[in-house]
Amino acid sequence: MLDTLSTAFTLFATLDNALVLLLGVIIGTVVGAIPGMTTVMAVALVLPFTFSMQPVTGILLLLGVYKGGIYGGSITAILINTPGTVAASCTVLDGYPLAQRGEARRALDIALYSSCIADFISNLSLILFAGLLASFALKFGSAEFFTLIVFSLTIIAGVSGKQLLKGFAAACMGLLLATVGLDLIYGTNRFVFGQINLMSGFTFIPVLIGLFAVPEIINYFVSVETSREKSKLAGIGASLADLKQCLKTIVRGSVIGVVLGAIPGIGGAPAAFLSYSEARRNSKDPEKFGKGELEGVAAAESGNNGVAGATMIPLLALGIPGDIITAIILGAFMIHGLRPGPLMFEQNLSLIYAIFMGIMLSSLFLLIVGKISIRTISKIADIPRHLLFPVVLILCVFGTYAVNNTIYDVGIMFAMGLFGFGMLKLGIPAAPFLIAFILGPLFEDNFRQALLISKGDYGVFFSSGICLFFWAMTILSVGILIWQHTAGKKHD
Amino acid sequence: MWTTNKRDIATGILLMLMALLLVFVLIPFGVVEPKKVKFAALSPSYYPRLVGYCLLAIGGLIVATRWLGHNQTEAESTPQQSRSSAVLLLLFSILLVFYWTLPLAGFVLGSALALACLLLLAGERRPLMILTISITVPSLLYLFFTKVANIPIPAGVLEPWLNRL
């Protein structure tokens, strides 16, 4: 064992590895902060550069980009209401209201601390529980996935605030928008109407940007002149007391992220929403969520960053990539003649330990890079809005185009922007729409797949302990939300 | 006077109309059903139809609850609204022209012109500031995406010049 650790340390402890990891975190943070530039895109772009590197160095570069990218998405989500990545979409809910209140720096600090702590916990879980979590994750079939998503969707009631019915209506519209495209089981068209672009459905980023950033910009243009300018939005950073206040939420979010991250195919966004939902449910002031609650930012960021290390669990322990990024990393392993899985733990244990060491160091680099970036980037919040918003709109256009290299997506972004502005004017909350749009495909696909496997027997949704656990949690969650809603009305 | 109650009733009616349009027009004409479906829940139209009925019920509930409820706070109205409508119309026109001319003008020229118009609309009156931002922002974004991220961005009429960079 000591020999293996010593070999691993020799493999890891080189200047090249440290520099490449740092570079990866910087690239990831910058790319993640640009709307439209996804973490997947950044990892894929960096991949060819790893071919000539040593296996550990190359894989650490990709991991650095991955971790930086997940954090970077929160920066623009907080500052300009435009999540850089899908995983950061939940951060918008409280991050942007905090920035509007002049507390952007505080929100960015908490997002960074949450990200680093969650990342560290996630990495630790990867090292300690890889085998255990991988075997648990393998027990998830379509029915278990479906009940998990049902539980995650209960957050819709939470983020709707006093507009509960309108929130449900928004969720229905989000679910419907997610059905556009080819049917998963039969491969037939749904709401395509002869448009080839619609066959693959709507891409997340144009819808995300259109729904959150564009209505805010339109609303700025039509708002009253006197209420326009606000200065010194960046404000002061988060205090130790803020961190202490959020610590419980961060740890809870990290655990949620780790568990969901270990399940192949879940991703950061559902983890962030579930963590947010739990934070709101456990909060003494749940009504503050969605209006600029620091714990909301902590919950969202810890949830999505908790996934980062854990997605490596099925990859390293079983050789199964949990998402697109880990699939690219799997490709990098294979290019270097390595095949992740149980056999790798026997044949290349020192290499795995070297990667673990690098992963732990990445949390520290994330903190350093994040702290430096906050100091410079948070100045964006001080730019006069009449200059910032038109520039942001153009940035959104470039970013949206970059996702699929199609002007059609720009049109979708504008259309969603108008739709979002309409929702704003009618008092329909946008967050439930977004949550349903993101979780909708998982919800429907797993529902139908489970029924297909069970030959139409609905009993499949109650057939395992995991299903029953999530049903119980759903009932509990809905019960508490209804109680809170009625208690709130009585109080009013 | 437009009250929040009236606005909510209008919202509820709008949602119901959307749901009816979905169930009776969009699903029958927009969802291609396979010839043979093992059971109803597997049909491609089952789930959107279910969501459509939910939307109809929610719209109905909104109308019913607001109909029975008391009139709430009055929404702000008149002089500012007419100004807002004019700005909104102008903004939509800029975005529409920008979108339709993007393939021809390209991202740099199209964005520069749109940015100049948007800055003017936002209240910026310094010509040098408008000119500087309108030229530098699209150019920098173009250079970043094409040279750093290796993502081809349509340059439109400026392609011969931008390709030399």
Q: What angle do CA A450, A454, A458 make, to 5 degrees?
A: 75
pLDDT one-digit tens code per residue, B100-110: 999 999 999 99
ipTM confidence score: 0.89
CB nearest A186 (choices: B34, B59, B119) = B34
Q: Measured between CB atoms, does B119 come within 8 Å of chain A?
A: yes
Residue B11 to residue B6: CA distance in whole angstroms: 9
**Smallest Cα distance from B158 to chain A, Å:** 16
Check whether A41 has a pLDDT greater than 60: yes
> Average pLDDT for residues A331-348, to the nearest whole number?
79
Q: Do residues B84 and B59 share a domain?
A: no
Q: Do residues B156 and B90 share a domain?
A: yes
Residue A9 to residue A482: CA distance in whole angstroms: 54
pLDDT, residue A490, reads: 57
- For residue B145, how far is the Cα from the chain centroid? 24
Check whether A492 has a pLDDT greater than 70: no
> Average pLDDT for residues A417-429, to the nearest whole number?
90
Least confident span in A24-33, A125-134, A282-291: A125-134
Of residues A365 and A485, more confidence is placed in A365
% of chain A with per-residue pLDDT over 90:
21
Q: Do residues B84 and B156 share a domain?
A: yes
Q: Residue A468: which pLDDT band, with cuts at 50, 70 and 90?
A: very high
Q: Which residues in chain B are closer than 8 Å to A451, comparing Cβ atoms?
A: 39, 41-42
> Average pLDDT for residues A213-234, to the nearest whole number?
66
Q: Do residues B153 and B87 share a domain?
A: yes
pLDDT, residue B48, reads: 94
Of residues A51 and B8, more confidence is placed in B8
Q: Measured between CB atoms, does B22 come within 8 Å of chain A?
A: yes
- For testing contact with chain B, the best of A65, A221, A410, A437 (most B CBs within 10 A): A221
Backbone angles phi, psi at A198, to 5 degrees: -80, -10
pLDDT, residue A485, reads: 66
Instruction: Tell me if A190 and B84 make a contact (CB, 8 A cut-off).
Output: no
Please indicate, yes or no, if residue B74 is contained in any of the structural domains: no
Instruction: Tell me if B31 and A189 make a contact (CB, 8 A cut-off).
Output: yes
Total domains in the fold of chain B: 2
pLDDT, residue A295, reads: 92
> Average pLDDT for residues A58-67, to the nearest whole number?
90
**pTM: predicted TM-score of the whole model, two decimal places:** 0.77
Please indicate, yes or no, if residue B38 is contained in any of the structural domains: yes
Please indicate, yes or no, if residue B75 is contained in any of the structural domains: no
Instruction: Tell me if A188 and B31 make a contact (CB, 8 A cut-off).
Output: yes
pLDDT, residue A487, reads: 64
Amino acid in position A403: V
Mean predicted lDDT score pLDDT of chain B? 87
Q: Which residues in chain B are closer than 8 Å to A37, comparing Cβ atoms?
A: 149
Name the residue with tokens 């995406």: B145
> Average pLDDT for residues A244-257, to the nearest whole number?
92
DSSP string, A183-244: -TTT--EES-TT-GGGGG---HHHHHHHHHHHHHHHHHHHS-GGG------S-----HHHHH
> Average pLDDT for residues A25-39, to the nearest whole number?
80
Q: Do residues B55 and B100 share a domain?
A: no
Please indicate, yes or no, if residue B135 is contained in any of the structural domains: yes
Of residues A50 and B121, more confidence is placed in B121
CB nearest A387 (choices: B15, B133, B153) = B133
Instruction: Tell me if B122 and A418 make a contact (CB, 8 A cut-off).
Output: no
CB nearest A166 (choices: B11, B45, B142) = B11
> Average pLDDT for residues A345-349, to the nearest whole number?
76
Measured between CA atoms, the residue of chain A closest to residue B62 is A165
Please indicate, yes or no, if residue B85 is contained in any of the structural domains: yes
Biggest distance spanned by C-alpha atoms of chain A: 70
Q: Do residues B50 and B109 share a domain?
A: no
Q: Do residues B87 and B147 share a domain?
A: yes
Domain with A45 in it = 2-491
Q: Which residues in chain B are closer than 8 Å to A419, comparing Cβ atoms?
A: none
3-state secondary structure of A455: coil
Q: Do residues B149 and B84 share a domain?
A: yes
Helices A268-282, A465-491: crossing angle, 10 deg rounding:
50
Residue A59 to residue A335: CA distance in whole angstroms: 11
Residue at which a domain ends, from B44, B68, B92:
B68
Q: Do residues B84 and B140 share a domain?
A: yes
pLDDT one-digit tens code per residue, A84-136: 677 788 888 898 888 888 888 889 899 999 999 998 998 888 888 776 776 77
Q: Residue A228: which pLDDT band, with cuts at 50, 70 and 90?
A: very low
> Average pLDDT for residues B27-32, to the nearest whole number?
93
> Average pLDDT for residues A308-333, to the nearest whole number?
79
Domain with B38 in it = 4-68
Please indicate, yes or no, if residue B121 is contained in any of the structural domains: yes
Instruction: Note whether A272 and A300 are within 8 A (CB).
Output: yes
Instruction: Note whether A300 and A93 are within 8 A (CB).
Output: yes
Residue at which a domain ends, from B68, B90, B120:
B68
pLDDT, residue A233, reads: 47
CB nearest A391 (choices: B103, B137, B151) = B137
pLDDT one-digit tens code per residue, B47-88: 999 999 999 999 999 999 888 775 555 554 455 566 678 888
Instruction: Tell me if A405 and B152 make a contact (CB, 8 A cut-off).
Output: yes
Q: Which residues in chain B are closer than 8 Å to A220, comparing Cβ atoms?
A: 122
CB nearest B138 (choices: A41, A389, A394) = A394
- In this complex, how many residue pairs, one in chain A and one in chain B, have their CB atoms less than 8 Å apart? 163
Check whether A350 has a pLDDT greater than 90: no
| Burial profile A162-197: b = 16 or more Cβ within 10 angstroms, e = fewer | ebbbbbbbbbbbbbbbbbbbbbebbeebbbbeeeee
Instruction: Note whether A277 and A270 are within 8 A (CB).
Output: no
> Average pLDDT for residues A221-232, to the nearest whole number?
56
**Smallest Cα distance from A23 to chain B, Å:** 15
pLDDT, residue A226, reads: 45
CB nearest A221 (choices: B33, B87, B141) = B87
For B:31-50, CB contacts with A below 8 A are 31-34, 37-39, 41-42, 44-45, 47-48
Check whether A169 has a pLDDT greater than 70: yes
Q: Measured between CB atoms, does B134 come within 8 Å of chain A?
A: no
Mean predicted lDDT score pLDDT of chain A? 84
Instruction: Tell me if B44 and A183 make a contact (CB, 8 A cut-off).
Output: yes
Q: Which residues in chain A are closer than 8 Å to B69, comparing Cβ atoms?
A: none
> Average pLDDT for residues A481-488, to the nearest whole number?
68
Q: Which residues in chain A are closer than 8 Å to B101, comparing Cβ atoms?
A: none
Instruction: Tell me if A391 and B34 make a contact (CB, 8 A cut-off).
Output: no
Instruction: Tell me if B44 and A395 make a contact (CB, 8 A cut-off).
Output: no
Q: Do residues B84 and B145 share a domain?
A: yes
3-state secondary structure of B1: coil
Instruction: Note whether A289 and A280 are within 8 A (CB).
Output: yes
> Average pLDDT for residues A290-303, to the nearest whole number?
90
Check whether A82 has a pLDDT greater than 90: no
Measured between CA atoms, the residue of chain B closest to residue A192 is B30
Q: Do residues B86 and B25 share a domain?
A: no
DSSP string, A31-98: HHTSTT--HHHHHHHHHHHHTTS-HHHHHHHHHHHHHHHHHHHHHHHHHHS--SSGGGGGTHHHHHHH
Q: Is B67 exposed, middle or buried (0-12, 13-18, 19+ CB in 10 A)?
A: exposed
Q: Do residues B26 and B90 share a domain?
A: no
Please indicate, yes or no, if residue B73 is contained in any of the structural domains: no
Residue A79 to residue A477: CA distance in whole angstroms: 31
Q: Measured between CB atoms, does B128 come within 8 Å of chain A?
A: no
Total domains in the fold of chain A: 1
Backbone angles phi, psi at A181, to 5 degrees: 125, -160
